[in-house]
Structure 1
Amino acid sequence: MKFIIQRDQLIAGVQDVMKAISSRTVIPILTGMKIEAKQHGITLTGSDSDISIESYIPAEEDGVVHVEQIEEGTIILQAKYFPDIVRKLPEKTVEIEVDANLKVTIRSGKAEFNLNGQDAEEYPHLPKLETENSFEMSIELLKSMIKQTVFAVSTMETRPILTGVNLKLANNVLSFTATDSHRLAKREIPVTDANIEFQQVVVPGKSLTELYKILDDSEETVEISVTNNQILFRTKHLNFLSRLLDGNYPETSRLIPEQSKTKLQVKTKELLSTIDRASLLAKEERNNVVRLFTQGDSVIEISSNSPEVGTVVEEISVELIEGEELKISFSSKYMIDALKAIEYDDVTIEFTGAMRPFVIRPLNDDSILQLILPVRTY
């Protein structure tokens, strides 16, 4: 195997697949990176058996040559050293050559590295997903759906299914739902011409977080395919494959209150920064609890106190208060996360009493929903 490749292209591909390679894997060969050279281009692969990432560098694209002098072949290189070597090479091009004894030579300018490769036959085969059952969506939209939900997954392994985001596609609506049983985040979008429906596809939160980092804003769309235990996100140069979590995701729709007793409309940034300030004194407590009191029809008071530290009280004017008076306590962290995820200037918050979950939505947009359970304080 042999080829000469543009170093920048190689670095970008290596950085992408490194996100799937873990030094803690139980399968030794998975600590390596697979490099496959074909006449049409180079494919890099990394996997930790939960996530697998393939990055493709075409030999030529739009008249620009990325890879030349290709002699086909496959090799596994130690991922611990290869990325750093590539990053520090002196010239703009890199020549990689493998001999019959799996010895790998990496040349750039006057620098030459000789590494021991491993036989690619030992590398596990990635499952090939049937892409007939798939749908497309814009990368920008997918990233915003991940951002608006993934923070609410559980970090506790006691209920593994809650460490993932539930994806559901039915009646041309795609929804992402995440909950850790104290809060819930949900986002829905319409999907046209999807020839596939699914109810219970639970993608590990960790996978979606990595996917969010790796998806390139410059590419337009991503194709999503699902099988019984894998999900594939595919763009022109990237295949991102994740295993799905086993088990039944809880029915979350019944948690969302039908009607409300108190309703607020408020500027998102103003509420966010007020709660952020109030939480400064709530750090000692387990939940960073802050309190919200309604006053009249246009003012709410946000406060926090911790006996050892002191108290903070701040009033903010709101656009609207309807319904009953309210005193409620909640985790400032959950509220800050929820408000940050809603990328709108104004939000409405609907309460059904001091001990019932409350719902935060952007003004005039029901596609995004954040739900938080209050904290009991006596």
Structure 2
Amino acid sequence: MKFTIQRDVFVQNIQHVSKAISSRATMPILSGLKIVAFDDGVTLTGSDSDISIEAFIPAEDGDNQVVDIDKPGAIVLQAKYFADIIKKLPESTVEVSINDQNVTKISSGSSEFNLNGLDPDEFPRLPEVEEGNSFQLKTDLLKALIKQTAFAVSTAETRPILTGIHWGMEEGTLTCTATDSHRLAMREAKIEGAKEDTDFSNVVIPGKSLTELSKILDDSEETIDVTVTNNQALFKAKNILFFSRLLDGNYPATKNMIPTNSKTNVQVDAKKLLASIERALLLSRDGKNNVVNLKSLGDHTLEITSVTPEVGKVTEEVACDAFEGEDLRISFNGKNIIDALRVIEATDVTIQFTGAMSPFIMRPADRDYMLHLFSPVRTY
């Protein structure tokens, strides 16, 4: 194998694929990055037990010659060293070649490295994804769906199913849901052109996988192909294949958790509420006490307080745009509210309370495709 490639393009694609490579791989071959040179370009592949990523670098990009292939071939190189080497090479082009003993020479300008390679035939094959439920959506919409739900997944391995985001498709509407049992984030999106038979109800994709996918994708309106099977999800973007295993088990019936009525409805400026709660938590920097107390004062005003006994107390009033129903007094985890307000992308939010010890809902005031559900905190 021998080829010359533009270094910047090489670095970018190596970074994409490296997101699938674990430094704690159970098989030595999986700590490596597979490189295959074809006549029409170079393919890079990384994999672990959860995700596999393949990036294709075409020889030509429009009128730009990106890769010159002298001799096709394949090799697996230790990703940890290879990525750092390519990033720090001095010139704008890199030459990669291997000899019969799998020793790989990497040269750029006056710099030359020789890395011991591994047999590419030992590298696991990419998952075979049969045609299952397939649909397309815009890349920027997919990134929004991930951003607005992934933060709410559980980080505890005691209930592995909650470390994933639940995807359901029904009548052309994709619903993404994440919960850690204390809060819930749900986002819906109408999928234009979805086939009538595209219908699934228990697809759970690891939150970490979707977060890594989001980092790879550019903000654009280009479409991405999504295929869901019994144990894999495949995301196919321009020159990128991203495979994620699905989590086993049944996701909780989250729709049953969402209250259908309320005793108190509040509409408030999202930025003002966010800033107020952030200030309320300034005295709890160690993160041990994120409890915020909220009560209505009448005249469309809310009082937000937070007490850290060994430090002090914060009190602030926030004006509401609208207030309907019973007087209110409730305590909640302020950090959870902050996380939601940072992704909700709305000028005003509506909050529906059902009682001091009952879960409450927050959603954008001007749209109904997103909601956040929070459990209150008992303070006595």
Aligned residues between the structures: 378
Specify which of 254, 257, 260 is matched with residue 259 of structure 2. 257
Distance 1:284 1:89, change over 3 A: closer
Specify which of 206, 224, 227 is matched with residue 225 of structure 1. 227
Task: Name the structure 2 match of 1:358.
Answer: 360
Contact in 1 for aligned 2:132/2:229 (Cα 8 Å): no
Cα shift readout 1:221-249 (whole Å, capped 9, x = no counterpart): 21111111011111011111111100000
> How far is 1:208 from its partner?
1.0
Task: Name the structure 2 match of 1:50.
Answer: 50
Task: Name the structure 2 match of 1:183.
Answer: 183
Contact in 1 for aligned 2:35/2:45 (Cα 8 Å): yes
Q: Which amino acid aligns with 1:116?
A: N
Structure 1 unpaired stretches of 5+: none
Paired with 2:287 and 2:378, the residues of 1 have a C-alpha distance of 13
Specify which of 232, 240, 248 is matched with residue 246 of structure 1. 248
Paired with 1:267 and 1:321, the residues of 2 have a C-alpha distance of 12
Contact in 1 for aligned 2:2/2:71 (Cα 8 Å): yes
- Report SS of the residue matched to 1:80: helix
Task: Name the structure 2 match of 1:79.
Answer: 79
Structure 1 segment 73-152 matched on structure 2, within 5 A: 73-131=73-131, 133-152=133-152
Task: Name the structure 1 match of 2:36.
Answer: 36
Paired with 1:36 and 1:306, the residues of 2 have a C-alpha distance of 58
Task: Name the structure 2 match of 1:303.
Answer: 305
Cα shift readout 1:275-325 (whole Å, capped 9, x = no counterpart): 111112245674410111011141000001122222111001110110000
Paired with 1:344 and 1:219, the residues of 2 have a C-alpha distance of 21
Paired with 2:367 and 2:276, the residues of 1 have a C-alpha distance of 24
- Report SS of the residue matched to 1:152: coil
> How far is 1:130 from its partner?
3.0
- Report SS of the residue matched to 1:370: strand
Distance 1:319 1:82, change over 3 A: same
Q: Which amino acid aligns with 2:5?
A: I
Task: Name the structure 1 match of 2:173.
Answer: 173
Aligned sequence identity (%)? 57
Paired with 1:189 and 1:60, the residues of 2 have a C-alpha distance of 36
- Report SS of the residue matched to 1:280: coil
Paired with 2:60 and 2:217, the residues of 1 have a C-alpha distance of 21
Q: Which amino acid aligns with 2:263?
A: K
Structure 2 unpaired stretches of 5+: none
> How far is 1:264 from its partner?
0.5
The farther-off stretch of 137-146 and 107-116 is 107-116
Contact in 1 for aligned 2:106/2:114 (Cα 8 Å): yes
Task: Name the structure 2 match of 1:66.
Answer: 66
Cα shift readout 1:15-45 (whole Å, capped 9, x = no counterpart): 1111111110111100000001111111100
> How far is 1:70 from its partner?
3.6
- Report SS of the residue matched to 2:335: helix
Cα shift readout 1:88-146 (whole Å, capped 9, x = no counterpart): 11111111111121111111111111111111010011112235641111111111111
Task: Name the structure 2 match of 1:159.
Answer: 159
Task: Name the structure 1 match of 2:338.
Answer: 336
Paired with 2:74 and 2:190, the residues of 1 have a C-alpha distance of 42
Task: Name the structure 1 match of 2:202.
Answer: 200
Paired with 2:286 and 2:310, the residues of 1 have a C-alpha distance of 9
Q: Which amino acid aligns with 2:31?
A: T
- Report SS of the residue matched to 1:143: helix
Distance 1:284 1:34, change over 3 A: closer
Distance 1:254 1:287, change over 3 A: farther
Q: Which amino acid aligns with 2:303?
A: E
Q: Which amino acid aligns with 2:260?
A: E
The farther-off stretch of 207-216 and 132-141 is 132-141
Task: Name the structure 1 match of 2:324.
Answer: 322
Task: Name the structure 2 match of 1:15.
Answer: 15
* CA-atom RMSD in angstroms: 1.3
